[in-house]
Structure 1
Amino acid sequence: MRQGFKEVPRAVWLLSAGVFVNAVVSLTFVFVFLYLSGPRGLGAGTAGLITGIGGLGTVAGNFTGGWFGDRFGHRRVLLAAAAVAGLILMSLPLLPTVLLYAALPAAEYATGVIRAANSALVAVIVPEGARRQAFAVVRCVSNGGFTLGPPLGALVATGLSYDWLFVADGIGTLFFALWTARVVPARGARRSAAPGGRRGRGVWRELRARPAVLVLLGAVLVVDLVYRQQYFTFPVFLADHGLDVGAFGLIIALNGAIILLLELPAAVALRDRPPLRIIGTGLLLVGAGYAALQAGAGVATAVVMMVLLSLGEILYKTTATAYVADQAPEHAIGRFQSLYAGVSVSGVVLGPPLGGALYAAAPGLLWPLCALLAGLAGAAVLYMSTRPARHAVRPAHETGSRPRAVAG
């Protein structure tokens, strides 16, 4: 497997080390509701409102981070956003409740900018042809950090206080800024620009020239609403059928274990396969996972669902991120990454109200609808994989690798 990652630059491996450390301590989004409804003494409604506004900040940051990066430089934007997020996170325990309505969304917005800028930075550093492996490395270490973080955070919250979670998150984010500044040289992360200094076409015109990217973005938007139900309505479904929180925690842990075990080997094994076919197959597997819940709500069914969902995630998430980067014109790499980053987290905001409302009104319809939506999204992407390219071969200076036709 080592041979398959030889093309991943050293800077990406070093950057991934910082991503791992930051992911371990990125606990705000996990514990913020418990913190607000516990030590802060807020009611569930108020805590939910503040948390929801923070989620909007995350989505907005993902949608806009790459746009700033295309103009000011992805490395520079990442460093600035990480500094802002770190300082705000460290100050949250000291702020009066009324200021949390502004401070938490600001911190989450900056965190979203970091995510988009980090993806764009990897896309700029890594030449086309090695991006799937590079994004797989970043995703794998990030998932590893998030797997370790919550249990450690629970120990800190119960043994010390919730305040230390925000301090640790802030320090970790500031460390990520300093680490990135050290391991990613400014000369290797220059902001995107049109060849010869010319301004490129607008993003909408570039997207219209790449209909497969438009279809992919729409498909990921739909599937993320479905995918996120594992965190929102799925645990309620399990509880309604006699399975406790412990069972849910073990099933979710299975997701992390499968990703850590298979993400990198899959990226190497499939690196030369057509990306849209891989993405479409992954979306179909997500739908199959939710379809499996039609067989009942036992532990075995839940495990089958999570295995299928995890395999689908491995296939579509890394490949889609790399595909959007490969399709982007040089002057709009950040904006393309921001569009993908934004739609890929949209379910955080839209998933709970839509899924919760449907489950409350007609619980028997939720999983069939999830399966249908993911299936249609997968079919749409697979259909686009059969269509011929619409735009011309891209030059080597734009792709970072040998010239070749790009499916559009």
Structure 2
Amino acid sequence: MRGLRDVPRAVWLLAAGTFVNMTVSVTFAYLFLYLTGPRGLGPGQAGLLAGAGGVGLLAGNFTGGWFGDRFGHRPALLVSATTGGLLLAAVPVLPTPALYAALPLAQYAAGAQRAAGSALVAVIVPEGARRQAFAVMRAAGNGGFTLGPLLGALVATRLSYDWLYLADGLGSVGLALWTARVVPAVVRARRRSGDATRERDATREAPAGEGLWAALRARPAVLVLLGAIVVVDVVYRQQYTTFPVHLADHGLDTGVYGALLAVNGGVLLCLELPAALALRRRSPLPVVATGLLLVAAGYGTLLTGTGTGAAVAMMILLTLGELLYKTPATAYVADRAPAHVQGRFQSLYAGASITGVVLAAPLGGALYQAAPGWLWPCCASAAAVAAVAVVAGARLERGRVRRAGGGRPAEVVAAVAAAEVAAASPVAAARVEGRRRGPLL
């Protein structure tokens, strides 16, 4: 397919490594069972330790991009993946008190690795092809996660939990070695308008420019989008926290919940990449807003009752919303980021997109306990408000562009447009410059 041919070979190889790594990266799913089982901790201690790991993961996502901007995205991924992998592989031999340091540090490294990986894809891929590139990466991750928990359950029950941590750690170290092999230090970025290439050093700091907050203030739609993603992620992750409790309270057992999660994974594997290809030329923010509205509609179906049919409809709508908003939002933030803060932009998005890991359970659980009938209306309303905010952000950005160009000479308007494109992508900027100068003879 034409859209997939725009995805560089390095991204396909990275996706292959990500698939393998995600297949063995399942220790987080069994952490509580491991701590309360072989480690002999009480539920309170296990919850505290798991919570500390979640905070480490969130902090790594929010701050890890700085390392890439400062030292290069490729080295940042190599160091974070290796560090996190070695810490996880050492978990079985560490005394229990040492886990209070090792697990949060390992999760911090995992968060930094996630931000560095997104930024690395953003600098490898030319503007205009990032949606399908991020969709390829997400498809690989989802595929690995579909197989991983099943294999992990077999390993944990037939062998021991120690083998899960060893496999997870070795998988991260292996991903670092694989990345060092398949992603060169100097990335040759292909222009989509022709066969010309230009080299970008992915290991060096980008030229200095405006600071992070100045860059964000100049791009208000990105700020609005980040806020909307924080809200919707807290809503989205109720499917992993209060939703299974809600099902049990209405007589639907764990088997039903497991089947619903299989629906989620199956729909994503089948449709996310085709959807990214079909919609790649559409303006990203309206697509994101549509996805958020589908998330709202998914939780809205629970207002009609909680039978199997309503639960399946809820999960399908939620999954369709996910595949519409996650990939375009990631690509949009990458396209709008100036080169010297690409890593920090990706860090902000990565952190916003997992905020629900920390907030979904306490917020949703407290509301469900106090007023269970209000949880799903609140979820649907919050996601709908987030969608409206994204639409408003898109209009704000269009108005700003019009004001920047209104009443100015044509050459000034062209310069403003070139600056906007340069902020989104150096490759696109080169393409614009080529059109302004005319063909090279």
**TM-score clears 0.5:** yes
1-structure distance, mates of 2:364, 2:155: 32
Q: Give the secondary-structure state (helix, strand or coil) at the position aligned to 2:282.
A: coil
1:295 is displaced (CA, Å) by: 1.1
Paired letter, 1:399? P
**1:64 positional shift:** 1.1
Output one character per residue of 1:122-149: Cα deviation in whole Å (capped at 9) or x when no partner: 0000010000000000001100100100
Given the alignment of the two structures, is residue 127 of structure 1 paired with residue 137 of structure 2, yes or no?
no
Q: Which amino acid aligns with 2:352?
A: V
Query: In 1, distance between residues paired with 2:214 and 2:395?
Result: 22
Counterpart AA for 2:275: A
Structure 1 residue 225, shift from structure 2 partner: 0.4
Output aligned runs, 1:343-354, within 5 Å: 343-354=352-363
Which residue of 297, 305, 310 maps to 2:314?
Answer: 305
Q: Is the 8 A contact 1:210 1:390 kept in 2?
A: no
Does the CA contact (< 8 Å) of 1:192 and 1:332 recur in 2?
no
- Which residue number in structure 2 is paired with residue 342 of structure 1? 351
In 2, are the aligned partners of 1:192 and 1:330 still within 8 Å (CA)? no
410, 415, 432: which one pairs with 1:403?
Answer: 432
Task: For 1:225 and 1:138, locate their aligned partners in 2 and report how far apart those are by CA, in whole Å.
Answer: 23
Whether the 8 Å CA contact 2:186–2:203 is kept in 1: the answer is no
Unaligned runs of 5+ in 2: 188-200, 402-415, 434-441
Taking the aligned partners of 1:273 and 1:399, their CA distance within structure 2 comes to 21
- Residue 82 (str. 1) matches residue 81 (str. 2): yes
CA distance in 2: counterparts of 1:389 and 1:145, whole angstroms: 42
Aligned equivalents of 2:399, 2:152: Cα separation in 1: 48
Instruction: Specify the alignment match of 1:146 in structure 2.
Output: 145
Q: Is the 8 A contact 2:7 2:133 kept in 1?
A: yes
Cα distance in 2 for residues equivalent to 1:370 and 1:192:
43
Distance (whole Å) between structure 1 residues aligned to residue 432 and residue 231 of structure 2: 33
**Match 1:390 to one of 395, 400, 407:** 400
8 Å Cα contact 2:60-2:110 kept in structure 1: yes
Q: Say whether the 8 Å CA contact 1:192–1:333 is kept in structure 2.
A: no
Residues 116-265 of structure 1 mapped to structure 2, 5 A cutoff: 116-188=115-187, 190-191=202-203, 193=205, 197=207, 199-265=208-274
Q: Distance in 2 between matches of 1:246 and 1:263?
A: 25
Q: Give the deviation of 1:287 after TM superposition.
A: 0.7
Instruction: Determine helix, strand or coil for the equivalent of 1:393.
Output: helix
C-alpha separation in 2, matches of 1:102 and 1:261: 40
Aligned to 1:54: 53
Relative to structure 1, is the Cα distance of residues 233 and 8 closer, same or farther in structure 2, using a 3 angstrom cutoff?
A: same
SS at match of 1:242: coil
Is the contact made by 1:82 and 1:110 (CA closer than 8 Å) also made in structure 2?
yes
Which residue identity lines up with residue 325 of structure 1 in the other structure? A
Cα distance between partner residues in 1 of 2:399 and 2:337: 14
Q: CA RMSD in A?
A: 1.3
Q: Which residue type is aligned with residue 287 of structure 2?
A: I
Q: For residues 326 and 204 of structure 1, what CA distance do their matches in structure 2 show? A: 17
Inter-partner Cα distance in structure 1 for 2:383 and 2:228: 8
* Counterparts of 1:327 and 1:399, CA distance in 2: 11
Flag structure 1 segments of 5+ consecutive residues without an equivalent. Answer: none
Aligned residue number for residue 405 of structure 2: none
1:394, 1:363 → 2: CA distance?
Answer: 52
Give the aligned residue type for 2:400: R
Alignment of 1:91-110 (within 5 A): 91-110=90-109
Contact 1:156 1:164 (C-alpha < 8 Å) held by counterparts: yes
Map 1:314-353 to 2 at 5 A. 314-353=323-362
Task: Tell me by how many angstroms 1:58 deviates.
Answer: 0.5
Letter in 2 for 1:99: A
TM-score by length of 2: 0.89
Quick one: which of 284, 287, 296 aligns to 2:296? 287
CA contact under 8 A between 2:35 and 2:46: conserved in structure 1? Answer: yes
* 1:28 shift after superposition: 1.5
Match of 1:267 in 2: 276
**What does residue 10 of structure 1 align with?**
9
For residue 190 of structure 2, what is the aligned residue in structure 1?
A: none
**Other-structure match for 2:404:** none
CA gap 1:200/1:389 in 2 versus in 1, 3 angstroms: farther
Q: Counterparts of 1:165 and 1:355 in 2: how far apart (Å)?
A: 30
SS at match of 1:403: helix
- Distance (Å, rounded) in 1 between the aligned partners of 2:71 and 2:426: 21
- Rate the CA distance shift 1:389–1:200 in 2: closer, same or farther, 3 A: farther
Q: Equivalents in 2 of 1:32, 1:400: separation in Å?
A: 43
Displacement, 1:399?
A: 3.5
Deviations 1:298-317 (A, max 9, x none): 11111100000000000100
Contact 2:71 2:205 in 1 (8 A): no
What's the secondary structure of 1:40's corresponding residue? coil
Residues 166 and 394 from structure 1, CA distance in 2 versus in 1: closer, same or farther, beyond 3 angstroms? farther
Alpha-carbon distance, 1:382 to partner: 1.5
Aligned-pair distance for 1:41?
1.1
Which digits, 9 at most, give the CA deviation of each residue in 1:332-391, with x for residues without a partner? 111100000001001000111111011011000000000000000001111222341536
Which of the pair has more CA radius of gyration? 2
